[in-house]
Structure 1
Amino acid sequence: MGTPGTFPYDSGLHPAGYTSRLWTMRQLAGLRTAAATNERFRYLLDMGETGLSLAFDLPTQLGLDPDAPAAEGEVGRTGVSVATVDDLAEVFDGIPLDKVSVSFTINATAPVLLAMWIVVAEESAVDPVKLRGTLQNEMLKEFLARKAFIYDLDTSMQYALDVIEYCTGELPGVNPVSISGGHAREAGADAALEVACALASVDAYLGGMVDRGFPVDEVARRFSFVFGTDMELLKEAAKLRVARRRYAERMRDRWGATDPRAMKLRTQVNTFGSALAFQEPLNNIVRATVQAIAAILGGTQSLHVCSFDEALQTPGPLGARIALRTQQILASETDLARYADPLGGSRVVEQLVAELGAEVDDWLRRIEQRGGVVECIRTGWLEGEIEQLAYLDPGPVVGVTDPQVSASEDALVAAERHQVVGHGRAVRRPAAEDELRRVRDDARAGRNVMPALIDAVRARATIGQLREAMQPPAREERA
């Protein structure tokens, strides 16, 4: 094993590990309305959270206004509903955007939410250059695992690259893509394929930016990653060591990177929701704690711990607080953060690293033999491999026999959702027609859509209007 802070960084990115700086405690939150989400953010910041992570409802993820027929029943259900820049402004009301980093769990509509974030900053007297945070903006994993995409694969990648290009030139504190292996893992992949999916996706995003004329080092040093941790504590910690080593080696040997920042795999780790059980939900505190320890021993830069009630509902205040307190207890009341590389030299960990590394290499060879990750998604081969592995995962096994537990929506939550839908009917207006026309023209001409999106957002275009303006022409129209 190597030395912390030195190539290939398997022992950690920083020489002092967590002894000089703890990981970012970034609990995912997004509750129904902008006001409810703002209240939860303030609550978490008061409890000591060190970074915000924003979750959106499915209509927002898919570019649907809350009153769209296709959004019925889903508004505010899995996160906050955002129809215009004013909704996002309410989410961040009273929160200093130049002092708090924000992670946006958004993909298909990442260009639109980035434009809104920029305008919210401008209108609150914050220079967008001072924004700090991460956009997930990861469309390959949407096609591979989550399926929350709007446009075809090529168009989706075009818009993802537009975001990377804009942030690289204009927003020095924003990571424009968070390349994910964790979503493939949640869909059924094993630990080795989780790492391989992420590393193979790097080639697609980086290759696209090189084709646009950007240097490898300039782009890659802005990449971040998303992995998860499951219940095999030592194996999950070893997995992150393998990911860092393979990434560093591939960046140097395959892409010719010379900047150490371009060779350091920086990751957010989410404890896995698929490891939770809705029966006996308090057991999930133990599960999430084990997975959090794995992430810390593995050397993550940022951590989200699932709430014990997450298998039942959007986390309540108690669940959110206990999840954050779990991180704080591990940081302050244990010795996990006292050593730069606590697992260094472990025979068991070295064996796990060797075994996992060989499996990752085999998956990468198979993906490359089939033309790379994009082609493997087109043919359905990689998705088929993940589905096969999914059948082998038993999931939680302790305390899962009680069928009586169920979740129900209370009247207050239902009323809030109804209010959001009514708000959606009120916000759409024709004031942004000229700006929407420019979005449409730039999208069809293949120009970067970000400048036009920002202007349209300033003019209060809705997310549904912007989705429609970005829609590529039908195939026969293109011909």
Structure 2
Amino acid sequence: MGIPGEFPYDAGLHPGGYTTRLWTMRQLAGLYSAESTNSRFRYLLEMGETGLSLAFDLPTQLGLDPDAPAADGEVGRTGVSVATVDDLKTVFKEIPLDRVSVSFTINATAPMLLAMWIVAAEESDVDPAALRGTLQNEMLKEFLARKAYVYDLDTSVRYALDVVEYCMEHLPGVNPISVSGGHAREAGADAALEVACALASVDAYLAGMVERGHSAEQVASRFSFIFGTDMEVLKEAAKLRVARRRYAERMRDRWGVTAPRAMRLRAQVNTFGSALAYQEPLNNIVRATLQAVAAVLGGTQSLHVCSFDEAVQTPGPLGARIALRTQQIIAHETDLARYADPLGGSHVIEGLVEELGKEVDDWLERIEARGGVAACIRSGWLEGQIEELAYRDPGPTVGVLETSPSESERRLLQSEAHTTTGGRRDIERPDCEPELTRLRDDARAGRNILPALIEAVRRRATIGQLCTAMRPADDLSAPSLS
């Protein structure tokens, strides 16, 4: 077992663990409208949340304006609808962007949302350099697991690297990419493959940035990661130790990194939605609590806890409050945060770390032998492995014999539900053709698209206009929700 704060950081990133700084409590939120999302954010901040996490609806994720025919029925369903920078400004109304960290759960349209965040800050008299937070901006996992992509794989990764490059040069407080293993896990991967997918993706992103002339050390210091925790509490805690150890070793041995910051794997952990059941939904409070304990024992830097109602709807106020209170109770009413490495020296943990480490190494060797993660995505091999593992996972088993919630449970969920129509929302499209032409030219010439994006956003270009302008010349298709 390692020592907290020392290479390879399996025992934790800092010598004092949570005794010197608690994890960031960051509950994912994003409701139908910008106004309702702003209200939920202010509510969560009043309840003691320490970081915001913004979810977007599918049209926004896919670069569709909310009045596009293809968006019909999906506007506001899975998060907030954002068409222009004015929507994002409303989301953050009366929220100090220079003092509150914001995580954006956005990928294919991450460049557009980054440009909007920058302009929203400028127009709120906040220096964009003072912004703090994280962009998910992780396209490899979209092709592998989530499937919410707009462009082809190469173009998608190129735009993701544009975001990384711009943030490195202009936004020191923003983590420009959050490399994910958690989404592969939600799709069916086991714990070892979850870690391996994230580490293999790191190699792909680093190679792309090094090819652009950046040092691996500079780039890696800006990476963050997304993992999840399931119901095997000790194994999930051990998994995070394995991830930190393997990442530190690979940074040193494969990439020649020496700076401690670039070798420290900083993780956002989400409790798994796939572990929730819609039958007997209050049982999900227990499930999410145990998964949160696993994340804390594993040494996460940031944590989202699923709401008990999340298996059937966007979390209601009660579900969101209980999920946040779960984190606060763990932090302040238990002794889990009083020790830098509470699992250090455990023979059980040591055995799990050794076993998982060997499995991770095996997956990494298999991925590398097939040409790396991008090649494994193109061939379909890696997705096939995840699908095969998914069939072996039974999911929740307690309290799921009924086919639907009881009437009392249904009333509880409905009383908390945020009702949305999913219908289209009309928007205005300004005349910003010169800015869109510049964006189109920069996209097709291979230049970094962020400067042109920011100018177009200032002129109130819509996300649909931006997405169309960035489309490769040989790709005339439109994104679809099907």
The TM-score normalised by the length of structure 2 is 0.96
Matches within 5 A, 1:338-377: 338-377=338-377
Structure 1 CA distance for aligned equivalents of residues 475 and 317 of structure 2: 48
Matches within 5 A, 1:207-356: 207-356=207-356
Structure 1 CA distance for aligned equivalents of residues 417 and 274 of structure 2: 28
CA contact (8 A) 2:181 2:196 kept: yes
Q: Does 1:12 align with 2:18?
A: no
CA distances 1:36-70 after superposition (whole Å, capped 9, x unpaired)? 00000000000000000000000000000001111
Shift of 1:312: 1.2
Shift of 1:413: 2.7
Structure 2 CA distance for aligned equivalents of residues 105 and 414 of structure 1: 20
Tell me the equivalent position of 2:427. Answer: 426
CA distances 1:91-139 after superposition (whole Å, capped 9, x unpaired)? 0000000000000000000000000000000000000000000000000
CA contact (8 A) 2:220 2:263 kept: yes
Shift of 1:258: 1.1
Tell me the equivalent position of 1:63. Answer: 63
CA contact (8 A) 1:278 1:311 kept: yes
Distance 1:408 1:428, change over 3 A: farther
Runs of 4+ off more than 2 Å: 404-415
Structure 2 CA distance for aligned equivalents of residues 441 and 369 of structure 1: 38
Structure 2 CA distance for aligned equivalents of residues 426 and 384 of structure 1: 41
Structure 1 CA distance for aligned equivalents of residues 429 and 194 of structure 2: 41
Structure 2 CA distance for aligned equivalents of residues 203 and 222 of structure 1: 14
Structure 2 CA distance for aligned equivalents of residues 411 and 18 of structure 1: 35
Q: Does 1:457 align with 2:457?
A: yes
Tell me the equivalent position of 2:48. Answer: 48
Structure 2 CA distance for aligned equivalents of residues 471 and 357 of structure 1: 41
Amino acid at match of 2:428: V
Amino acid at match of 1:413: T
Structure 1 CA distance for aligned equivalents of residues 361 and 370 of structure 2: 14
Shift of 1:403: 1.6
Tell me the equivalent position of 2:194. Answer: 194
Structure 2 CA distance for aligned equivalents of residues 127 and 392 of structure 1: 50
CA contact (8 A) 1:182 1:227 kept: yes
CA contact (8 A) 2:66 2:427 kept: no
Q: Does 1:181 align with 2:187?
A: no
Shift of 1:414: 3.7
Structure 1 CA distance for aligned equivalents of residues 232 and 457 of structure 2: 45
Q: Does 1:39 align with 2:45?
A: no
Structure 1 CA distance for aligned equivalents of residues 392 and 262 of structure 2: 36
CA contact (8 A) 2:314 2:418 kept: no
The TM-score normalised by the length of structure 1 is 0.97
CA contact (8 A) 1:84 1:427 kept: no
Distance 1:442 1:409, change over 3 A: farther
CA contact (8 A) 2:316 2:417 kept: no
Q: Does 1:437 align with 2:443?
A: no
Tell me the equivalent position of 1:413. Answer: 419
Structure 1 CA distance for aligned equivalents of residues 222 and 82 of structure 2: 27
CA contact (8 A) 2:76 2:420 kept: no
Structure 2 CA distance for aligned equivalents of residues 392 and 41 of structure 1: 38
Amino acid at match of 1:368: E
Structure 2 CA distance for aligned equivalents of residues 402 and 411 of structure 1: 22
Amino acid at match of 1:286: V
Tell me the equivalent position of 1:404. Answer: 404
Amino acid at match of 2:78: T
Amino acid at match of 1:360: V
Structure 1 CA distance for aligned equivalents of residues 246 and 346 of structure 2: 19
Shift of 1:410: 10
Structure 1 CA distance for aligned equivalents of residues 154 and 447 of structure 2: 14
Structure 2 CA distance for aligned equivalents of residues 292 and 412 of structure 1: 25
Amino acid at match of 1:327: Q
The unaligned stretches of length 5 or more in structure 2 are 477-482
Amino acid at match of 1:313: Q
Amino acid at match of 2:271: T
Structure 1 CA distance for aligned equivalents of residues 129 and 418 of structure 2: 39
Structure 1 CA distance for aligned equivalents of residues 298 and 56 of structure 2: 28
CA distances 1:158-190 after superposition (whole Å, capped 9, x unpaired)? 100000000000000000000000000000000
Distance 1:434 1:22, change over 3 A: same
Amino acid at match of 1:153: L
CA distances 1:224-259 after superposition (whole Å, capped 9, x unpaired)? 000000000000000000000000000000000011
Structure 1 CA distance for aligned equivalents of residues 70 and 417 of structure 2: 22
Structure 1 CA distance for aligned equivalents of residues 335 and 416 of structure 2: 42
SS in 2 for 1:226: strand
Structure 2 CA distance for aligned equivalents of residues 28 and 108 of structure 1: 18
% of aligned pairs identical? Answer: 78
Structure 1 CA distance for aligned equivalents of residues 87 and 429 of structure 2: 13
CA contact (8 A) 2:131 2:174 kept: yes
The unaligned stretches of length 5 or more in structure 1 are none
Shift of 1:408: 7.0
Distance 1:36 1:385, change over 3 A: same
Shift of 1:409: 11
SS in 1 for 2:460: coil
Structure 1 CA distance for aligned equivalents of residues 416 and 466 of structure 2: 33
SS in 2 for 1:290: helix
Amino acid at match of 2:350: E
SS in 2 for 1:268: strand
Structure 1 CA distance for aligned equivalents of residues 92 and 74 of structure 2: 23
Distance 1:357 1:35, change over 3 A: same
CA distances 1:273-302 after superposition (whole Å, capped 9, x unpaired)? 000000000000000000000000000000
Structure 2 CA distance for aligned equivalents of residues 223 and 380 of structure 1: 26
Shift of 1:404: 2.8
Structure 1 CA distance for aligned equivalents of residues 160 and 97 of structure 2: 23
Tell me the equivalent position of 1:133. Answer: 133
Matched pairs, number? 470
